[in-house]
Structure 1
Amino acid sequence: MNHLTESYVDSLAQNSAAIKNGKDLVKKNSFPLLCQSEDGTIIFGECKGSGKDPYRCSVDLAKEGNPVFRCSCPSRQFPCKHNLGLMYAFTSGKPFTTAPVPQDIVDKREKAEKREEKKKEPVDPDAPVAKRKTNKSALIKKIASQLEGVSIAEKLILQLTQSGLGSLDKKTLQTAEDQAKQLGNYYIPGIQTALRELTLQLRADENRENVYTNAIEQLTSLHALIKKSGVYLTSRLDNPDLPLDTESTLEEWIGHAWQIAELREYGRVRSESSALMQLAFRSYTDQARGEFIDEGYWSDLTNGGLHFTKTYRPFRAAKYIREEDSVFGVVEAKELAQYPGDGELNKRVRWEEATFREADSQDYQTIRSAAHQSFPEIIKQVKNQIKNPLSDKRPVALLQFAEVKKTESAYVLIDEQGKQLPLADIPYLNEPTTQLLPMLNLTYLQNQAILVMFEHNWQQNRLEAQPLSIVTTNEIVRLLY
């Protein structure tokens, strides 16, 4: 069980509170019984609870990267704090007695093994590939409802623009918000969220010029989304047998939540193992969606790509969904699923099973070798991307730089050809990092690779980049965790 480390257990926990609760159980010596199987693949024990009988908990680690948790407690969290405490007891060096595995665990394990064996049974190569059956009448009804919702959203946008952004009062905005809520009945949650983002922006008490600038950008994207959605959904209504759009982000913009089974069906899953290393991480609150969002930026050690992950945790169900966190080792995903996208610099990815290992010098070198060396080239790519109304307006890139230089008013990044890129804290992140640069040792500011997020500054009409992390030959210095 060499892969069972404290950092790995941290990554399995639902949230920071679960980590604390699990570790507290170990500190309080709440485990009167700690055992492991003879082959070392299962740890099990008993943990004191609020009742007279202790909770029986176990962690089956036979399948690396996909542990199985069992506990007699009523918690709806997986792993529960008792499972976490059991693992933390193991990683902290608490003595575990070698003992026979309880029969109930043996029985459950055998059933699971039989299910796995059944999945591995040979498939007739001449047999047709089974696809999920679609209820065509229900699909037609859903698409018709979506088109009705798109029409309502289009009228709402027309009303707002005809009234003039500068003349919108609280009553008008409240009416717009109420109408946006009604779109929840039309299966277009993405469009509904975009409308809520617009109304929240217009309600902001900050500098009005900035508010109107951002609102115009949102209106442009929303108008394009509504138009493209209408055309796309109409074509699907005319021909319900058409497959989902897997070449762009339109389905996700409308509000479709891609399942990994769908991505696998559409050939968007890399079946061979993929190694990834996280370069930056952040968690933030999205009021328009009513969700917490955990976002990570990853270097693909397999092909040099730069990906991102997003985990959505609705406010009402946040405590039941695992809260993501910074990952400092190398993740080796059994299979990597890639969400649809149209040639963007960063692809959204996800995985279900993975193992972890410590990073070595070769990993850092692999990351650095994938960094862009020419600023004009990457700037051109970024500008071409943000011209698309539905593309990510704040892409992330890894750049090779010769020097970070302080000018009279700001910092600039300089490449080997002497080309400059202005560094600044972009409003979107709402987390300043540029001010941390002078605190770094000079060696980190010369001839390194840097991860930046781009954003177009409309006031100064220029492209700016905010530093997120610096990659050296033996470490990643994170400015954004």
Structure 2
Amino acid sequence: MLLSHGGEPSRAAGPAARWTVEQVLALAPDDASRKAGSRLGSADRWSDAGLDGSGAVWGLCRGSGSTPYRTVVDTTGPAYTCSCPSRKFPCKHALGLLLLWAGGTPPLRSGEVAGWAREWLEGRRSRAAGQESPPEETGAAGPADREAARRRAERRAERITGGAQELEQRLTDLLRGGLAAADQSGYGLWEETAARMVDAQAPGLAGRVRELGAIPASGPGWPVRLLEECALLHLLDTAWLGLDRLPEPLAATVRTRVGLTSSAEGPPVRDHWLVLAQYDTPDGKIVARRIWLYGRESGRTALLLSFGAAGRSPGQALPVGVTLDAELTPYPGAGQLRAELGRQFGTPVPGGTPPPGAGTAAALAAYGDALRDDPWLDARPVTLREVIPVPSGDGWQLADAHAESAVPVAPAALSRPGLWKLVALSGGGPVNVFGEIGHRGFDPFAAWSADPVSEGAGSGEAVPLI
């Protein structure tokens, strides 16, 4: 059940800094796991539990059978393994063990790693070290391999071009027949068109077609929304068909939006990265996990993206509010913020300096600027500085404490309990909030107190909102 990203763990002499209970619970793949893990966070459920200075935590959890479950967590990843049959990641036993560690009462025994846990830890860390081998040791693809890869890329590009041309014809037929026909034809037509895009090896186009199919049932005003999304899809089609005439950064964005995968490239950026948010979204038959990071020295915001198969959570998980000393390698593309997590230096530590933030007007202007680089950008990460959540009609908005401007809270956030956590943290006063701003409004993910009396302006503990 091990899934993790790479990274070289530190061999620190002292014990790893403990996480908070909230940071542990943020790792849970769902509410059921969060509740089950909470029930296992007491010392009476565990035996032979301990920790060492390198970030390893282990223990035996009593279950319904005669043999206890063996659970090990490497907090430098973090990475987990457990002898239980659960397919959730992390499982409830790993969450319970971390909660026991985070609580600190009673403290876990510090010392030598238990023998049954040592084998997994050593294997994981040796594999992580092996991933750092220098390029000259890994070998390079020969001319025949490069030529075969080029031919495969050309064949796929031809199939995508055929799919884009077919999609253009279907959009033309839709507009010629009138948008009212979209409400009468049902979802089957859209699903069939999406399947054709999958056959053309253009999953990005397929995903956007499926989104079109849901719009006619989305309530009043759907024809306007459908026309807007059809226009964006037409723009993406024509951009692909004229790819050779685009500047390379925009061309890389188009390739990504169509569904072509690319590798992280460029020099890695080492920084102290604060984990701002982690959330999962369904992406067809898989689950996509997004983790937002902020670099203290570079001032950069980066996105870690990982995927899990149906029924399983993505392997990469980081608790909100911890800081990693690590290297990130960016992916290509105009305005793209996605990066790949590489080598880590030391264990994650709680706390960190939050982004400085901006006012609501500046945040909206930044989103508008980002659309020039990526016209298909639904939202952009931003930290709003000193805003106050206030009711507005049937929803909420975040009003700038120092200017007559505000942004509406996105509809997706109105039904989440995180909105009430934000209101409680504010208490009618200003807060700093990280989230995504886009044409649907602002979706809040984490918040900090903006009260300068408590630990300095905006320097308190991050409160996860999602």
Relative to the length of structure 1, the TM-score reads 0.70
Equivalences for residues 276-287 of structure 1 within 5 A: 276-278=274-276
Could you tell me which residue of structure 2 aligns to residue 254 of structure 1? 258
Deviation of the 1:218 alpha carbon? 0.5
What is the alpha-carbon distance in structure 1 between the residues aligned to residue 176 and residue 80 of structure 2? 57
Equivalences for residues 24-423 of structure 1 within 5 A: 24-27=39-42, 29-31=44-46, 33-36=47-50, 42-59=56-73, 61=74, 65-66=76-77, 69-92=80-103, 93-94=105-106, 101=113, 103=115, 105-106=117-118, 130=140, 133-134=145-146, 135-136=148-149, 137-171=151-185, 174-204=188-218, 206-207=219-220, 210-232=221-243, 248-258=252-262, 262-263=263-264, 266-267=265-266, 269-270=268-269, 272-278=270-276, 289=284, 295=290, 298-308=293-303, 316-317=310-311, 319-321=312-314, 327=320, 329-343=321-335, 347-351=337-341, 355-359=347-351, 363-364=353-354, 367-368=355-356, 371-372=357-358, 375=361, 379-386=364-371, 390-400=375-385, 413=399, 420-423=404-407
Could you tell me which residue of structure 1 aligns to residue 32 of structure 2? 17
Percent identity reads 18
Could you tell me which residue of structure 2 aligns to residue 475 of structure 1? 460
What is the alpha-carbon distance in structure 2 between the residues aligned to residue 381 and residue 192 of structure 1? 29
Of stretches 93-102 and 168-177 in structure 1, the one that deviates more from structure 2 is 93-102
Q: Secondary structure at the match of 1:197?
A: helix
What is the alpha-carbon distance in structure 2 between the residues aligned to residue 322 and residue 54 of structure 1? 24
Structure 1's 35 and 313: CA in aligned 2 closer, same or farther, altered over 3 A?
Answer: closer
Count of residue correspondences: 432
Q: Secondary structure at the match of 2:383?
A: strand
Equivalences for residues 457-476 of structure 1 within 5 A: 469=447, 472=450, 473=457, 474-475=459-460
Deviation of the 1:105 alpha carbon? 4.8
What is the alpha-carbon distance in structure 2 between the residues aligned to residue 380 and residue 283 of structure 1? 27
Q: Secondary structure at the match of 2:348?
A: strand
What is the alpha-carbon distance in structure 2 between the residues aligned to residue 313 and residue 119 of structure 1? 22
Deviation of the 1:150 alpha carbon? 1.8
Could you tell me which residue of structure 1 aligns to residue 7 of structure 2? none
Deviation of the 1:195 alpha carbon? 0.9
Structure 1's 45 and 15: CA in aligned 2 closer, same or farther, altered over 3 A?
Answer: same
Deviation of the 1:189 alpha carbon? 0.8
What is the alpha-carbon distance in structure 2 between the residues aligned to residue 219 and residue 211 of structure 1? 12
What amino acid does structure 1 have at the position aligned with 2:36?
Answer: N
Structure 1's 296 and 213: CA in aligned 2 closer, same or farther, altered over 3 A?
Answer: farther
Deviation of the 1:163 alpha carbon? 1.0
What is the alpha-carbon distance in structure 1 between the residues aligned to residue 281 and residue 307 of structure 2? 10
Deviation of the 1:112 alpha carbon? 5.4
What is the alpha-carbon distance in structure 2 between the residues aligned to residue 53 and residue 407 of structure 1? 56
What amino acid does structure 2 have at the position aligned with 1:273?
Answer: D
Would you say the 8 A contact 2:58–2:117 is kept in 1?
no
CA deviations on 1:299-338 (whole Å, 9 max, x unpaired) are 4322233445555556x33x343596872x2321512243
Match of 2:408 among 409, 414, 424: 424
List runs of 5+ in structure 1 lacking aligned partners. 237-243, 458-463
What is the alpha-carbon distance in structure 2 between the residues aligned to residue 50 and residue 192 of structure 1? 45
Deviation of the 1:18 alpha carbon? 3.2
CA deviations on 1:140-187 (whole Å, 9 max, x unpaired) are 332222222222222221221111113434336532332322322221
Would you say the 8 A contact 1:57–1:71 is kept in 2?
yes
Deviation of the 1:211 alpha carbon? 0.9
CA deviations on 1:364-389 (whole Å, 9 max, x unpaired) are 5xx33xx34694x6554433444667
List runs of 5+ in structure 2 lacking aligned partners. 1-14, 451-456
What amino acid does structure 2 have at the position aligned with 1:336?
Answer: L
Would you say the 8 A contact 1:311–1:324 is kept in 2?
no
Would you say the 8 A contact 2:398–2:409 is kept in 1?
no
Deviation of the 1:43 alpha carbon? 4.4
Deviation of the 1:228 alpha carbon? 1.4
Q: Secondary structure at the match of 1:276?
A: strand
Would you say the 8 A contact 2:253–2:374 is kept in 1?
no
Deviation of the 1:292 alpha carbon? 5.2
Q: Secondary structure at the match of 1:168?
A: helix
Q: Secondary structure at the match of 1:395?
A: strand
What amino acid does structure 1 have at the position aligned with 2:255?
Answer: E
Of stretches 392-401 and 187-196 in structure 1, the one that deviates more from structure 2 is 392-401
Deviation of the 1:193 alpha carbon? 0.8
CA deviations on 1:332-363 (whole Å, 9 max, x unpaired) are 1512243434247xx23453676433336xx2
What is the alpha-carbon distance in structure 1 between the residues aligned to residue 79 and residue 392 of structure 2? 55
Deviation of the 1:194 alpha carbon? 0.6
What is the alpha-carbon distance in structure 1 between the residues aligned to residue 117 and residue 398 of structure 2? 60
Would you say the 8 A contact 1:274–1:301 is kept in 2?
yes
What amino acid does structure 2 have at the position aligned with 1:335?
Answer: E
What is the alpha-carbon distance in structure 1 between the residues aligned to residue 125 and residue 50 of structure 2? 20
What amino acid does structure 2 have at the position aligned with 1:332?
Answer: L
What is the alpha-carbon distance in structure 1 between the residues aligned to residue 363 and residue 203 of structure 2? 33
What is the alpha-carbon distance in structure 2 between the residues aligned to residue 479 and residue 141 of structure 1? 45
What amino acid does structure 1 have at the position aligned with 2:222?
Answer: V
Would you say the 8 A contact 1:276–1:302 is kept in 2?
no
Structure 1's 6 and 162: CA in aligned 2 closer, same or farther, altered over 3 A?
Answer: same
Would you say the 8 A contact 2:78–2:318 is kept in 1?
no
Compute the RMSD of aligned alpha carbons: 4.6
